[in-house]
Amino acid sequence: MTLLNRNVDYAARALVFMARANKPTVSVAQMEGEVGVSRPFLRKTLQRLHKAGILQAVKGKGGGFALARNPENIRLSDLVSVLQGPLKLNDCVFRKQLCRHHDACLLRHKVSGIETRLLAELDSVTIKDLI
Amino acid sequence: MTLLNRNVDYAARALVFMARANKPTVSVAQMEGEVGVSRPFLRKTLQRLHKAGILQAVKGKGGGFALARNPENIRLSDLVSVLQGPLKLNDCVFRKQLCRHHDACLLRHKVSGIETRLLAELDSVTIKDLI
DNA sequence: ACAGAATGATACTGATAGGGTATCATTAAA
DNA sequence: TTTAATGATACCCTATCAGTATCATTCTGT
């Protein structure tokens, strides 16, 4: 089981880099080396974050990406939900056809609790915490 | 991201069934309906738990599976580690070639903390809790 | 106007894991 | 000896992960 996939990992590093950079925008070429991933791949990841409103993007020469919010307002949970999709803890909860004992299921109840606390953890870590 | 895959889900239900059954062994055929999964698939899952020492198995007519330990000594984390493999939280930690900032990496530090607490949660839930 | 540098959008590929089926061998009870 | 059970494997299909390639668009500087 992987909690954070590579996209989230790379994205977190790139966002920390941007937060530290103290420039209007940072291009992917500038981040490439530090983040440790190929330019096209990082580009695609950051584009998704742009679409999701987490990053600003400036096209054209001298352009690049920048954080759309303050670092303390960008959470690990934001990156996860954009780049990995929603947490679907056990399949019973996720399937359209719920299992027979859905309401009474103790497993579901326990796992829901774990889910809630895990999400709270991912929520509590911000880019600022990683600078 | 899926916290518990279907194998773990099915296994948990089957183990609860066995714990409730109060019989020396329970065959897959007897569990099939309640667990809601095909017989061959459930069989394979329980065989893995047998290999891992979590279940006892009795071959031959009248045979089946039984818990190898008391329900309060079988933890959700046991099922996860057998059926999903170890938690590999972020890839940086997992790769043999560690990233350059491995020791200083705040992300890694934060994520390790989350991992520890998540494992503790999975550890705290036993089959007895689900009966 | 034009060249170059940057993102936007999309399509494609290969590897891996999840989910599931099928089959034959082995064991034990009736 | 038949039948009911697990043991062990070998497959298969699909989705997701990780990554590459390509063309379109936009902006800046000369």
Phi, psi of B75 (to 5 degrees): -110, 155
Please say whether the beta carbons of A42 and A32 come within 8 A: yes
pLDDT, tens only, A94-121: 454 556 666 668 898 899 899 999 999 9
pLDDT, tens only, B21-48: 989 999 999 999 988 899 999 999 999 9
Beta bridge mates, B26: B65
Q: Tokens representing B9?
A: 């889900």
Instruction: Look at residue B66 in the predicted model and tell me its pLDDT.
Output: 98
Instruction: Look at residue A85 in the predicted model and tell me its pLDDT.
Output: 86
Distance B109 CA to D22 C1' (A): 39
Instruction: Look at residue A104 in the predicted model and tell me its pLDDT.
Output: 66
For residue B1, what are the CA distances in angstroms to A2, B33, B87?
8, 28, 12
The C-alpha atoms of residue A21 and residue A27 are separated, in whole angstroms, by: 11
Instruction: Look at residue B94 in the predicted model and tell me its pLDDT.
Output: 47
The beta strands (E) that lie in chain B are given as 55-58, 64-67
pLDDT, tens only, A43-96: 999 999 999 999 999 999 999 999 999 999 999 999 999 999 887 766 554 454
DSSP B50-65: HHTTSEEEE-STT-EE
pLDDT, tens only, B45-74: 999 999 999 999 999 999 999 999 999 999
Distance B98 CA to D2 C1' (A): 60
Domain spanning A6-130: CATH 1.10.10.10 = yes
pLDDT band at A32 (very low <50, low <70, confident <90, very high): very high
Instruction: Look at residue B3 in the predicted model and tell me its pLDDT.
Output: 87
Instruction: Look at residue A100 in the predicted model and tell me its pLDDT.
Output: 63
Among A9, A76, A88, the residue with its CB nearest the CB of B91 is A9
Among B1, B6, B125, the residue with its CB nearest the CB of A84 is B1
The C-alpha atoms of residue B28 and residue A27 are separated, in whole angstroms, by: 58
Using alpha carbons only, how large is chain B's radius of gyration in Å?
A: 18
CB under 7 Å from strand D: A 2, 5-7, 37-38, 40-41, 44, 58-63, 84-85; B 1, 27-29, 43-44, 46-47, 50-51, 57-65, 91
Instruction: Look at residue A36 in the predicted model and tell me its pLDDT.
Output: 87
Mean pLDDT of chain B: 90
CB < 8 Å to B109, chain A: none
Instruction: Look at residue B93 in the predicted model and tell me its pLDDT.
Output: 47
pLDDT band at B101 (very low <50, low <70, confident <90, very high): low
Distance A52 CA to C14 C1' (A): 28
CB < 8 Å to B106, chain A: 129-131
Please say whether the beta carbons of B97 and B40 come within 8 A: no
Please say whether the beta carbons of A112 and A89 come within 8 A: yes
Establish if B33 touches chain A: CB-CB under 8 angstroms. no
SS3 content of chain A, % helix, strand, coil (to 5): 55, 10, 35
Please say whether the beta carbons of B11 and B50 come within 8 A: no
The C-alpha atoms of residue B15 and residue B129 are separated, in whole angstroms, by: 12
* Alpha-carbon dihedral angle through residues B8, B11, B17, B23, given to the nearest 10 degrees: -150
